Amino acid sequence: MGLDTSHDCWHGPYTSFMLWRKAVAKAAGMPPLEHMFGFYDPNEDKRVLTDYKPIPWESLTPRPLHLLLNHSDCDGMLRWEDCAAIADDLESIIDDLDAKGPFCDREKAANWIRGLRAAAKAKEDVNFH
């Protein structure tokens, strides 16, 4: 069991998808995803900051990658109208992702780019299931 998307963007474990999204956020110069609203878990925060508030996505300079990074990992879809812009944004940081290692972040990004471009061309949403 894991995350599968249409257009062959992703097929794999949820945990790998989360690790990949963390790498993408880092390469994009964003705060760590675990500090972002929707991802922050005070029960996992070793700093024990009782007054810490997660970073709202709206406080960041908007970019297409946010649509992919701040997305459910088990359902929903990315609108085809957004897919080309997400692919362009992902392509702009691909060289900052690891090309080796157990997760091959760059290879996974290339899969997303191909799938997002195919979806945009076909005018089909990328579905998560």
Considering the chain, what is the average pLDDT of its residues? 89
- Give long-range contacts, CB 8 A cutoff, 24+ apart: 87-95: 87/112, 87/113, 87/116, 87/117, 87/120, 88/64, 89/28, 89/63, 89/64, 89/65, 90/24, 90/65, 90/116, 93/24, 93/27, 93/28, 93/65
Structure tokens at 119: 């979806």
pLDDT score recorded for residue 69: 95
pLDDT digits (tens, 9 = 90+) for 30-58: 998 888 888 877 666 555 555 667 889 99
Tens digit of pLDDT for each residue in 58-117? 999 999 999 999 988 888 999 999 999 999 999 999 999 988 766 678 999 999 999 999
